[in-house]
Amino acid sequence: MLTPILGIEIASLNDQDLDSLAKKTKVLITAVGPYTTYGEYAFKACAKNGTHYLDATGEVPWHRRMIQKYEKDAKASGAILIPQIGLESSPSDLVAWMLVGMIRERFSGPTGEVNVSVHEFK
């Protein structure tokens, strides 16, 4: 049986500290926002070190840039990077889930990918 090691570690928002932190853990959960300003250090460190990553961002353009920059590193290291697990992204996640269910039920068809785009009209 594995014994969890619990503790608090303070890390500055820089490549060296976040790289060191990512090497010591299996999962890193961050709520550092605004992610556009502060989020890349942790995302990059996790992608490069095989550390699983979760955040609560709703900053979709930032999320897209991070995937474009670090997807190859994450695949190579085995890191699973899951941004947007917070409240801001929940409505689109629920819509995608409902659409997949409807497609499977009504059309007996598989779904490979669902893209949901929400726009605000003024």
**CA atoms of 38 and 4, how far apart (whole Å):** 29
Q: Tell me how far CA of residue 1 lies from CA of 4, 7, 24, 44, in angstroms.
A: 10, 19, 19, 31
Q: Where are the domains of the chain?
A: 15-85, 87-122
Overall pTM surpassing 0.95 (yes/no): no
What is the distance between the terminal CA atoms of the chain, rounded to a whole angstrom?
Answer: 57
CATH architecture of the domain 15-85 equals 3-Layer(aba) Sandwich (3.40)
- Report pLDDT digits (tens) over 49-76: 999 999 988 888 998 999 999 999 999 9
- The answer on pLDDT for 116 being more than 80 is no
User: Token pair for residue 49?
Assistant: 């070190």
